Homo-oligomer: A and B are copies of this chain.
Amino acid sequence: MGPTCVGQGVPRKEGEAKVAGRAAYVDDLRLPGMLHGVTVRSTAARGRILAVGFGDGIPWDELVVVTARDVPGVNHVTLLDTDQPCLADGVVNHWDEPVVLLAHADRHLLEEARRRVHVEVEPLPAVLTIEDSLECRTVVWGKDNVFADYRVERGDPDGARRAAVHVVVGVYRTGAQEQLYIETQGVIAVPEPEGGISVHGSMQCPYYVQKALGPILGLPPERVRVVQTVTGGGFGGKEEYPSMIAAHAALLARKARRPVKLVYDREEDIQATTKRHPSRTWHRTAVDAEGRLLAMEVDFVIDGGAYKTLSPVVLSRGLIHSTGPYRCENVRLRGRAVATSAPPHGAFRGFGAPQSIFAVERHLDRVARDLGLDPVELRRRNFLHRGDRTAVGQEVREEPDMEGLMEKALEESDYRARRVACRRARERPGETVRRGVGLAAFYHGSGFTGSGEVHLASVASLECGPEGRVEVQASSTEIGQGTSTILAQITAGALGVDYRLVEVAPPDTDRVPDSGPTVASRTCMVVGRLVERCAGQALEVLRAEGLLPGGGHDDAQFVEACRVWCARHGPLRTHARYEPPPGIRWDPERFQGDAYGAYSWAVYVARVAVDTLTWETRVEDLVAVQEVGRAVHPLLAAGQVEGGVAQGVGFALYEKVVWRGGRVANARMTDYVMPTSEDAPPIRVHFVERPYAHGPSGAKGLGELPMDGPAPAIIAAVEDATGAALDSVPLLPEDLMVAMEGVIESR
Contacts and interface: CB of A to CB of B under 8 A. Distances in A.
Interface stretch (A20-28, A77-85, A309-317): A20-28
Given A22-B105, A467-B61, A469-B61, A30 B32 contact: no
Given A17-B105, A467-B61, A469-B61, A30 B24 contact: yes
Contact of A30 (B28, B467, B469, B506): B28
Nearest to A196: B193
A227 B106 contact: no
B229 A32 contact: yes
Contacts of A467: 61
Top 8 nearest A-B pairs by Cβ distance?
Answer: A32-B200, A29-B30, A30-B30, A32-B229, A61-B467, A24-B30, A32-B227, A28-B30
A471 to B, nearest CB: 11
A31 B30 CA distance: 6
B20 A106 contact: yes
Contacts of A24: 30, 32, 34
Nearest to A193: B510
A33 interface: yes
Interface string A29-48: 11111100000000000000
- Copies of this protein, total: 2
A233 B445 CA distance: 62
A583 B604 CA distance: 95
Contacts of A22: 105-106
A29 B30 CA distance: 5
Nearest to A503: B62
Contacts of A229: 32
A494 to B, nearest CB: 21
10 contacts: A24-B34, A28-B30, A29-B30, A29-B31, A29-B32, A31-B31, A32-B188, A32-B227, A33-B227, A61-B469
Interface string A53-88: 000000001000000000000000000000000000
Nearest to A559: B61
A394 to B, nearest CB: 43
A106 B21 CA distance: 10
Contact of A506 (B33, B61, B506): B33
Contacts of A200: 32
A412 to B, nearest CB: 42
Contacts of A105: 17, 22
Interface string A171-192: 0000000000000000010000
A20 B108 CA distance: 11
Interface in A105-143: 105-106
Nearest to A16: B106
A242 to B, nearest CB: 15
Which of A32, A33, A105, A467 has the largest number of chain B CB atoms within 10 A? A32
Interface string A320-336: 00000000000000000
Contacts of A227: 32-33
A497 to B, nearest CB: 14
Contacts of A193: 510
Contacts of A29: 30-32
Interface string A229-267: 100000000000000000000000000000000000000
A34 B17 CA distance: 13
A3 B279 CA distance: 68
A558 to B, nearest CB: 14
A633 to B, nearest CB: 22
A467 B61 CA distance: 8
Contacts of A33: 227, 506
A619 to B, nearest CB: 40
A647 to B, nearest CB: 29
Contacts of A31: 29, 31
A513 to B, nearest CB: 17
A510 B30 CA distance: 20
A40 B146 CA distance: 67
Nearest to A59: B500
Which of A61, A106, A227 has the largest number of chain B CB atoms within 10 A? A61
Contacts of A506: 33
Nearest to A36: B22
Which of A22, A33, A229, A506 has the largest number of chain B CB atoms within 10 A? A33
Given A31-B31, A32-B200, A32-B229, 12 more contacts: A20-B106, A22-B105, A22-B106, A24-B32, A29-B30, A29-B32, A30-B30, A32-B188, A32-B227, A33-B506, A61-B469, A193-B510
Contacts of A469: 61
A105 B506 CA distance: 14
A533 to B, nearest CB: 26
A105 B188 CA distance: 21
Nearest to A24: B30
A31 B190 CA distance: 11
Contacts of A30: 24, 28-30
A58 B506 CA distance: 24
Nearest to A60: B467
A105 B22 CA distance: 8
Nearest to A34: B24
Nearest to A61: B467
A24 B34 CA distance: 9
A467 B193 CA distance: 25
Interface in A459-476: 467, 469
A30 B188 CA distance: 12
A31 B227 CA distance: 12
A464 to B, nearest CB: 14
Nearest to A467: B61
Interface in A668-696: none
A230 to B, nearest CB: 9
A576 to B, nearest CB: 23
A506 B510 CA distance: 28
Nearest to A227: B32
A90 to B, nearest CB: 25
A17 B24 CA distance: 24
Contacts of A106: 20, 22
A506 B32 CA distance: 10
A449 B229 CA distance: 50
Nearest to A465: B61
A254 to B, nearest CB: 15
